[in-house]
A and B are shown apart, each in its own frame.
Chain A
Amino acid sequence: EVKLLESGGGLVQPGGSMRLSCAASGFTFTDFYMNWIRQPAGKAPEWLGFIRNKANGYTTEYNPSVKGRFTISRDNTQNMLYLQMNTLRAEDTATYYCATDNNWGFDYWGQGVMVTVSS
């Protein structure tokens, strides 16, 4: 059974940093692209970026809306996915999800973790 479990959310001040983690299990982690997606309360999801699989060299792509501030990485020995978020703004407040990729969209999602950027 595929399981994705995010952690690391909470309250952070504007301008601060936060790292989210996603623990993956139930599938061959290195075979899959992994994504981060966020969703502000009451709004549509927003894709933040992905990190490719082993066959594609674990390279990354980002939404221009967060490129340069957010960094996606993975630890393939621990089946972990990470999202490093820097220079956080109030508009980054959202629920953050990790998700697997089926080449079209996102077939397995974690339960999400809330990030609140506020002073």
Chain B
Amino acid sequence: DIQMTQSPTSLAASVGESVTITCLASEDIYGSLVWYQQKPGKSPQLLIYGATILEDGIPSRFSGSGSDTQYSLKINSLQPEDFASYYCQNGLSTPRTFGAGTKLELK
């Protein structure tokens, strides 16, 4: 199985700041990386797939980058609604595996 390691586990930031979350795959996933946002009590929401492709309706302040085994999610100019948990996911092969998550909290 491909292991997905996210960092940091938690992150505190203020409205208006920019943050970056990283995800390291245990082997090359050839850009097949997916990012989700999850708010408390809600289902995860797909943000980015194919490492860089923004899902329809997702604000452009979210962006993804990376290749091979290393990937990042950047959120520019944090808005109040962005404080949530974020997960990466291996989209290359089954079993589809998730990172342990990053909780983004308001400073």
* A residues whose Cβ falls under 8 Å from a Cβ of B: 43-47, 50, 61-65, 97, 102-107, 109-112
> Secondary structure at chain A's binding surface: helix, strand, loop or mixed?
loop
Given A64-B95, A104-B50, A105-B49, are A110 and B36 neighbors across the interface (CB < 8 Å)? no
Give chain B residues whose Cβ lies under 8 Å from the Cβ of A50. Answer: 94
Give chain A residues whose Cβ lies under 8 Å from the Cβ of B49. Answer: 102, 104-105, 107
Give chain B residues whose Cβ lies under 8 Å from the Cβ of A46. Answer: 98
Expressed in whole angstroms, the minimum distance between the Cβ of A11 and any Cβ of chain B is 20
Residue contact B46 to A44, C-beta cutoff 8 Å: no
Interface string of B1-12 (1 = CB under 8 A from A): 100000000000
Residue contact B34 to A104, C-beta cutoff 8 Å: yes
Partner pick for A44 among B1, B43, B95, B100, CB 8 A cutoff:
B100
Which 4 A-B residue pairs are closest in the complex by CB-CB distance?
A: A105-B34, A104-B91, A109-B43, A104-B49
Number of A-B contacts (CB under 8 A): 56
Question: Can you list 26 pairs linking A and B with CB atoms under 8 Å apart?
Answer: A43-B101, A44-B87, A45-B36, A45-B44, A47-B89, A47-B95, A47-B96, A47-B98, A62-B95, A63-B95, A64-B1, A97-B43, A102-B46, A104-B91, A105-B36, A105-B46, A105-B49, A105-B89, A106-B34, A106-B36, A106-B46, A107-B46, A107-B49, A107-B55, A109-B44, A109-B45
Given A44-B101, A47-B98, A104-B32, are A112 and B87 neighbors across the interface (CB < 8 Å)? no
Instruction: Report B1-57 residues with CB < 8 Å from chain A CB.
Output: 1, 32, 34, 36, 43-46, 49-50, 55
Shortest Cβ distance from B34 into A: residue? A105
Give chain A residues whose Cβ lies under 8 Å from the Cβ of B91. Answer: 103-105
Expressed in whole angstroms, the minimum distance between the Cβ of A68 and any Cβ of chain B is 14
Interface range, B side: 20 to 34
Please measure, in the bound complex, the distance between the C-alpha atom of A43 and the C-alpha atom of B44, giving whole angstroms: 12
Residue contact A44 to B98, C-beta cutoff 8 Å: yes
Give chain B residues whose Cβ lies under 8 Å from the Cβ of A105. Answer: 34, 36, 46, 49, 89, 91, 96
